[in-house]
Homo-oligomer: A and B are copies of this chain.
Amino acid sequence: MRPFAAIFVPDELEDGLSDRAWLEAMLDAERALANAGALAGVVPPAAAEAIAEQCDADRFDVAELARQGRDAGNPVEPLVRALRERVGDEPGAYVHLGATSQDVLDTAAVLVARRACELVDLARVVDLCAALADEHRRTVMAARTLLQQAVPTTFGYKAAGWLVGVDEARERLAAVVLPAQLGGAAGTLAAVGDQGVELLRLYAAELELPEPVLPWHNRRTPFLDLAGALVTTATALGKIAGDVVLLAQTEVGEVAEAAGGASSTMPHKRNPVAAVLAKACVRHVHANVGVLYESHEHERAAGAWHAEWHALQTALAATGGAAAAVARSLDGLEVDRERMRANIAAETLSEAERVGIDAAQPDDYLGSVDAFIDRALKRCQTP
């Protein structure tokens, strides 16, 4: 995310999504292909070794590859040329054997995405929400529907809802299957004769990636699954951020971020900056997944494939940025119990009474809050 990436994206994630990281992943794919080829008997072991040795990102200039890639429409074609040159004539013929550019770039995208997903720190957010849910089980506050006070609830119950949302997102992300990609120009793996299925199996194994039932050059279910999980994640994080921003309003004042942000003109302000940045990130996730909603023509799409790279990267960066920002927002969040109680409007209380609740006995008028919090906590326990 440019400009000012550091505002939105954690450094480690930004590195994990850099051009350098993509280059490394492409070289991982080429190396795995050579090794798998050797195991399948279509690449001489010495050639595989020579290739693997050259699959080192320090030996390539990714900016230059991108520049050269403009002509071919992707960075793999110049990378393969450069790799062949480095490997030398004879073993060079075995570089990229059986593969097409998309095999290498899709596999690289999978590797980059997998690593990026590991850097989206939802576990931290889950822990923070769980702690708030437990600590504030009985911290009474007004529930708000259409931003109007409704009946009482507790802050712990609100946090339990956040918790379940993020935990569901974590499940969705963990369930995404991103397989290796290998099919050759047409997905038939024709260049390796009848060794295709075996080569695919070995290649996936080399990369410790799942093996697809078919090559998926033009059937993007894996990335749609990822898109869905990122949407769910971003929306769950956006829920927390949105509630924090609303609760932190000057007139509500029920929470404040521990490190509330400074203003360039108003030093007294304590902006819920982390929550605000999270909300911005969420919008980028929602917008970029839409780029992935495209049916790919025939055996390789004329544009839809090329558009994925940036969309995937931005969606991953923004999801990770949102997670980090929400964690900052919740970490040390100041919860003002007195203000929560005091804010409850007279009508809200009388409504509580209307349905037979004695406001003096929280156990009664809070309905099933406790039971639901227990269910939420139980659901989210890491095994």
Contact = CB atoms under 8 A, between A and B. Distances in A.
Nearest to A70: B7
A337 to B, nearest CB: 16
A107 B212 CA distance: 37
A291 B228 CA distance: 14
Contacts of A242: 295, 297
Contacts of A367: 184, 188-194, 196
Central interface residue in A1, A265, A276, A280, by most chain B CB within 10 Å: A265
Contacts of A305: 280
Contact of A1 (B196, B249, B310): B310
A152 B304 CA distance: 22
B187 A153 contact: yes
B235 A224 contact: yes
Nearest to A324: B70
A205 interface: no
Interface string A271-293: 11101111111111011101101
Nearest to A260: B148
A123 interface: no
Interface string A119-155: 0000000000000000000000011111111111100
A186 to B, nearest CB: 3
Interface residues of A, number: 163
Give the dominant DSSP class at A's interface.
helix
A225 B229 CA distance: 9
A232 B231 CA distance: 14
Given A151-B186, A221-B165, A375-B213, A295 B70 contact: no
Given A219-B164, A367-B189, A309 B355 contact: no
Interface string A294-307: 11111111111111
A36 B30 CA distance: 59
A71 B4 CA distance: 13
B307 A283 contact: yes
A298 B143 contact: yes
A72 B14 CA distance: 20
Given A187-B157, A190-B366, A194-B367, A219 B239 contact: yes
Contact of A368 (B197, B243, B294): B197
A54 interface: no
A114 interface: no
A171 B73 CA distance: 30
B147 A214 contact: no
A185 B273 contact: no
A291 B318 CA distance: 13
The 5 closest A-B pairs by CB, nearest first: A279-B303, A228-B228, A143-B186, A196-B368, A190-B367
Given A6-B70, A150-B185, A249-B252, 5 more contacts: A72-B262, A76-B264, A101-B263, A221-B236, A234-B293
11 contacts: A5-B66, A7-B69, A153-B299, A161-B219, A185-B263, A189-B367, A224-B228, A228-B228, A235-B294, A251-B251, A290-B290
